[in-house]
């Protein structure tokens, strides 16, 4: 149970950074959903996101009472639940924006692919923990790829290219720390690059379009390219100091679509300017740097691998999301952790950070 | 524990994370700091639109300040491109509301290059269409209703050929206009005819506009700035509304009378001019058939346009300046003046009219024979045989010389477009066109204004003015002053002498006295001017027309002693001038001398200070 020694070992930097980011997110979601202009239900998003954040805090406090090691015991069970959820999405899921990603449970619509990332991290950490030091040949890697491959393909099928790419980021981040040979890593990347054209063939048309417009948004300025163009305009026009909170014309006049979810960073760029955007990126950097630190200080391999997976996941999210809004990454529908509106992602990310706290809190071997 | 290099690999991971952030911050720096201004302009381009406010065109006033052409408020439908081209489904919806084809809208859209201004689709829409669009506002993003001044010709057809009409600039006109100045842009309303065209640059003013902030649906949410419009300049015309109105009514009544109550059923076209002989100011100018310029103001319907185009009498033609007719007996003023001035005849000499000329058996119209007559009797009674003999004595070259001295055969230089030159009968013309030598019979024809002779009513008005004023040729004009909308005079127009014919007093007096007798008992216009209280001078004319009945002329000036108005009337296919044209001229003069309202006022008009 929680004792004073454990509480003293809490990572207050991570907690503070996370709290600040969530508070900022509530303000920016408010701005993006026009909380400043009269209209019914304008508080809905902020209230919902805030409420879930509070519930998650309680949930995390409860989870902190348990050593993260128990996760290893649930790894295979979680993996199984994950597959069931992803299959459920395939058969009873709801479509939105061209992809089948949601399942409705009572009043809550869940996005299983969000949770499946964390589940994959836990399951993979458990698997790699047992294989540490035994990753000497390609043969050793095959079971790992199969293990990750099944949920990966189910998500790719939804289709959710973004999340499946997150899976790859998690996989390679964790393999790297688990000690995969550099030579093997090179071969895998080389082969991956060689198979890219074939991979392209399996993409859905809208995904191909997204990648094409990423190369040149003006091929379809009112369609797929619209998001990129408007997002770049929003960020760029924020200039050094921004247009002020609630003052972003791109966002407030609705030129910027999805501005409270995937493109929320464009609102930050527009309203808070370069300075505000960089300060927020700095908070993310602190958070991720703590993630690496926690991975290094974990008391066991399982903790190191868990922290590595979580950090890899969050890093990839920040890179792809901010890169997408700034026009250097294709549009893949990956939300910005802790910032984008979306309670599934918020919950996943907060629990992930809770796990980081758990690992750090228990970094010292218990001495009697 | 992990393999030994795990700590080293965690450092690599940290460095990768750092590089990710360096990359992202660099990118933000590039977008927000390096290119910030560029994207700022793009964002403004998204949200800021110029909603133009059209400057009202200048007004037209008559010489006494009575407004003749003004503007009235109307509504126009425009499309505002929002962050890109207007979507097809919107075009289809708007087309169905306006009852036009989507292609017409696409054509208008394609003519516009500017992205940030609304493109006018239809002007002067009715309140029902405004309501329809407002009701469906939510499904019609980018469709805006603008308030637009619509040109209003207060008296509809009155002086339509003088005022002209306005409508939207077309591609050809735009290209031509932009060569000269950048004041013109697509979608502008410009003058296309008449004074509207000639003085377009003065009349059009400078458009203003509101700079508005719009949301993604094109709905204005905020006015950011305003550029005031500068109204166009006003024209004060030389036209006298009262005379113009009387002339219009008189022509219409006379044409109806001729068509219904006489043998001249085809009398459907006519022209009339009232001019001040001492200045060249046009007091009234009418052409028939006519059109209603208001039809063009909001864009003419194809049905109306078709009707105008298919009328064989060309309603869009100002016959007072562009119609070319044989001058008929009105030309006897030229022949007579030439004969007297060159001493080919004396006022006293009598010539025997036996009904036919003795060299060539050409006679009078009705075959009458007037016996021994002198110049005055010949002109008053419009005797052909006498003037054949004048032609015989003068020769075609002298006739041509005098015709040109009076200003025939060239445009008068009035400030309207489309003026014709007419034709002065001459040997070179016949040689050139027909390759034949000149015959004496053609000199005979020329002497009485038939044959090759062609004049416009305005040229004849100038000719009559020269008789009235002693030989001064003034450029006829329609605008006396241009003033700003605040009332300050920017430009005034003074009479301009463009020619002078030297005529002796003896000649002038003799011709004038002959013309006076025309309107008196025994003269050709005696019946039309019976009991007219003011002495006038007049001349009837009948222009032979190979395509139908003859055209009737009547030209006059008055008062006889102090001419202040010249009136020229021609009725196409109206037969004798005395019966067709003279009654119109009488009514115009009645209006000019205020005889048509109040007998007491009529007395006063004898004095020169009356408004004319």
A254-263, B458-467, B478-487: lowest mean pLDDT where?
A254-263
Does the beta-carbon distance from A308 to B10 stay under 8 Å?
yes
Nearest CB to A249 within list B17, B23, B43? B43
Domain ranges in chain A?
4-361
Question: What are the tens digits of pLDDT across the range B110-143?
Answer: 776 555 677 888 888 888 888 888 888 778 877 8
pLDDT the model gives residue B114: 57
Number of Cβ within 10 Å of residue A57's Cβ equals 16
The alpha carbon of residue A254 is apart from the nearest alpha carbon of chain B, in Å, by: 6
Q: How many contacts does A have with B, using Cβ atoms within 8 A?
A: 147
3-state SS, residue B128: helix
pLDDT the model gives residue A94: 64
pLDDT the model gives residue A107: 66
Contacts of A140 in chain B (CB under 8 A): none
Q: Please, is B427 exposed, middle or buried when counting C-beta atoms within 10 Å of its C-beta (0-12, 13-18, 19+)?
A: middle
**H-run or E-run covering B582:** helix B582-592
A364-368, B54-58, B437-441: lowest mean pLDDT where?
A364-368
Contacts of B35 in chain A (CB under 8 A): 236
pLDDT reading at A97 higher than 60: no
Report CA-CA distances (Å) from B284 to B243, B327, B462, B474: 6, 20, 14, 16
pLDDT the model gives residue B22: 96
Q: What is the mean pLDDT of residues A91-106?
A: 65
pLDDT the model gives residue B606: 42
Please report the ipTM that was assigned to this predicted complex: 0.93
CA distance B15 to B298: 70
CA nearest neighbour of B524 among B577, B571, B567 = B577
pLDDT reading at B605 higher than 60: no
pLDDT interval class at A37 (50, 70, 90): confident
Tokens 């400078």 appear where? B206
pLDDT the model gives residue A314: 97
pLDDT the model gives residue A2: 66
pLDDT reading at A92 higher than 80: no
CA distance B476 to A200: 81
The alpha carbon of residue B223 is apart from the nearest alpha carbon of chain A, in Å, by: 14
Judged by a CB distance cut-off of 8 A, whether residue A177 touches chain B is yes
pLDDT the model gives residue B82: 65
Judged by a CB distance cut-off of 8 A, whether residue A218 touches chain B is no
3-state SS, residue B143: strand
Judged by a CB distance cut-off of 8 A, whether residue A238 touches chain B is yes
Q: Please, is A33 exposed, middle or buried when counting C-beta atoms within 10 Å of its C-beta (0-12, 13-18, 19+)?
A: buried
Phi, psi (5° rounding) for residue B542? -135, 120
Percent of chain B surpassing pLDDT 90: 62
A196-200, B254-258, B396-400, B465-469: lowest mean pLDDT where?
A196-200
Nearest CB to A304 within list B6, B39, B42? B6
Does the beta-carbon distance from A327 to B31 stay under 8 Å?
yes
pLDDT the model gives residue B212: 80
Number of Cβ within 10 Å of residue B419's Cβ equals 20
pLDDT higher at A271 or A97: A271
Question: What are the tens digits of pLDDT across the range B527-547?
Answer: 999 989 999 999 999 998 888
Interface test with A, best of B20, B22, B215 (most A CBs within 10 A): B20
**Residue A233: closest CA among chain B residues belongs to which residue?**
B39
Domains and CATH numbers, chain B: 49-237 (3.90.1310.10), 241-604 (3.40.710.10)
């Amino acid at each position: 149970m929680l004792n004073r020694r454990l509480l003293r070992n809490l990572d207050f930097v991570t907690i503070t950074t996370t709290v600040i980011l969530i508070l900022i997110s509530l303000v920016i979601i408010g701005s993006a959903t026009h909380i400043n202009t009269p209209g019914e239900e304008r508080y809905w998003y902020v209230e919902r996101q805030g409420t879930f954040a509070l519930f998650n805090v309680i949930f995390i406090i409860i989870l902190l009472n348990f050593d993260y090691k128990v996760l290893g015991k649930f790894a295979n069970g979680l993996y199984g639940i994950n597959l069931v959820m992803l299959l459920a999405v395939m058969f009873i899921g709801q479509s939105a924006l061209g992809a089948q990603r949601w399942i409705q449970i009572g009043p809550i619509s869940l996005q299983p692919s969000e949770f499946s990332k964390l589940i994959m991290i836990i399951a993979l950490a458990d698997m790699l923990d047992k294989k540490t030091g035994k990753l000497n040949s390609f043969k050793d890697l095959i079971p790992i790829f199969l293990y990750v491959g099944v949920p990966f393909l189910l998500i790719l099928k939804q289709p959710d290219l973004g999340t499946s790419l997150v899976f790859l980021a998690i996989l390679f981040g964790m393999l790297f720390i688990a000690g995969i040979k550099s030579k093997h890593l090179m071969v895998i990347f080389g082969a991956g690059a060689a198979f890219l054209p074939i991979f392209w063939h399996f993409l859905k048309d809208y995904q191909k379009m997204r990648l094409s417009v990423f190369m040149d948004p003006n091929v379809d300025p009112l369609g797929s390219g619209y998001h990129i163009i408007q997002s770049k305009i929003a960020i760029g026009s924020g200039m050094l100091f921004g247009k002020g909170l609630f003052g972003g014309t791109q966002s407030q006049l609705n030129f910027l679509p999805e501005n409270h979810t995937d493109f929320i960073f464009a609102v930050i760029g527009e309203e808070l300017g370069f300075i505000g955007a960089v300060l927020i990126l700095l908070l993310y950097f602190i958070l991720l740097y703590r993630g690496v630190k926690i991975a290094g200080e974990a008391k066991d391999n399982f903790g190191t691998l868990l922290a590595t997976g979580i950090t890899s996941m969050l890093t990839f999210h920040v890179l792809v999301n901010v890169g997408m809004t700034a026009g250097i990454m294709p549009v893949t529908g990956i939300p910005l952790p802790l910032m984008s509106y979306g309670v599934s992602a918020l919950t996943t990310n907060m629990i992930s950070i809770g796990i980081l706290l758990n690992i750090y809190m228990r970094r010292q071997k218990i001495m009697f | 524990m992990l393999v030994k290099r795990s700590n080293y690999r965690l450092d690599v991971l940290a460095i990768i994370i750092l590089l990710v952030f360096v990359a992202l911050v660099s990118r933000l720096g590039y977008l927000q700091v390096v290119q910030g201004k560029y994207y700022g302009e793009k964002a403004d381009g998204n949200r800021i639109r110029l909603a133009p406010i059209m400057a009202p065109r200048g007004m037209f006033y008559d010489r006494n300040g009575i407004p003749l052409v003004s503007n009235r408020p109307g509504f126009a439908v425009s499309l505002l491109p929002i962050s890109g081209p207007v979507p097809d489904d919107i075009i289809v919806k708007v087309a169905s509301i306006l009852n036009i084809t989507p292609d017409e809208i696409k054509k208008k859209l394609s003519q516009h290059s500017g992205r940030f201004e609304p493109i006018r689709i239809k002007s002067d829409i009715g309140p029902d269409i405004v309501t329809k669009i407002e009701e469906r506002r939510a499904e019609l993003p980018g469709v805006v209703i603008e308030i637009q001044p619509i040109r209003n010709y207060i008296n509809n057809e009155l002086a339509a050929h003088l005022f002209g009409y306005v409508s939207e600039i077309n591609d050809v006109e735009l290209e031509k206009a932009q060569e000269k100045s950048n004041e013109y842009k697509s979608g502008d309303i410009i003058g296309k005819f008449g004074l509207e065209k000639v003085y377009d640059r003065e009349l059009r003013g400078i458009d203003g506009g509101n700079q508005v902030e719009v949301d993604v649906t094109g709905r204005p949410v905020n006015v950011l700035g305003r550029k005031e419009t500068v109204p166009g300049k006003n024209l004060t015309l030389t036209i006298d509304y009262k005379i113009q109105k009387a002339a219009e009514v008189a022509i219409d009544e006379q044409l109806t009378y001729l068509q219904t109550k006489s043998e001249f059923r085809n009398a459907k076209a006519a022209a009339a001019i009232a001019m001040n002989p001492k200045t060249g100011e046009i007091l009234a100018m009418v052409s028939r058939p006519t059109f209603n310029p208001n039809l063009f103001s909001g864009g003419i319907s194809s049905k109306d346009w078709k009707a105008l185009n298919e009328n064989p009498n060309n309603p869009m033609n100002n016959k007072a300046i562009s119609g070319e007719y044989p001058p008929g007996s009105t030309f006897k003023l030229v022949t007579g003046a030439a004969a007297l001035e060159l001493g080919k005849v004396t006022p006293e000499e009598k010539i025997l009219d036996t009904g036919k000329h003795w060299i060539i058996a050409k006679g009078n119209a009705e075959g009458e024979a007037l016996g021994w007559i002198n110049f005055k009797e010949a002109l008053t009674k419009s005797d052909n045989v006498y003037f054949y003999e004048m032609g015989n004595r003068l020769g075609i070259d002298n006739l041509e010389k005098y015709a040109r001295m009076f200003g025939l055969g060239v445009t008068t230089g009035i400030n309207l477009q489309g003026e014709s030159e007419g034709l002065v009968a001459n040997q070179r013309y016949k040689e050139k066109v027909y390759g034949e030598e000149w015959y004496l019979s053609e000199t005979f024809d020329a002497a009485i204004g038939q044959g090759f002779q062609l004049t416009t009513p305005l040229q004849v008005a100038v000719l009559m003015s020269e008789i009235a004023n002693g030989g001064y040729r003034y450029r006829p004009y329609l605008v006396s002053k241009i003033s700003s909308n605040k009332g300050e005079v920017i430009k005034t127009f003074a009479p301009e002498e463009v020619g002078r014919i030297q005529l002796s007093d003896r000649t002038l007096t003799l011709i004038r006295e002959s013309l006076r007798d025309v309107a008196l008992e025994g003269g050709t216009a005696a019946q039309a001017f019976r009991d007219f209280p003011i002495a006038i001078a007049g001349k009837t004319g009948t222009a032979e027309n190979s395509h139908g009945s003859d055209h009737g002329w009547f030209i006059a000036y008055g008062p006889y002693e102090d001419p202040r108005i010249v009136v020229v009337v021609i009725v196409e296919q109206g037969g004798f001038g005395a019966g067709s044209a003279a009654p119109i001229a009488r009514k115009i003069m009645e209006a000019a001398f205020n005889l048509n309202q109040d007998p007491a006022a009529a007395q006063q008009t004898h004095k020169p200070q009356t408004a004319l």
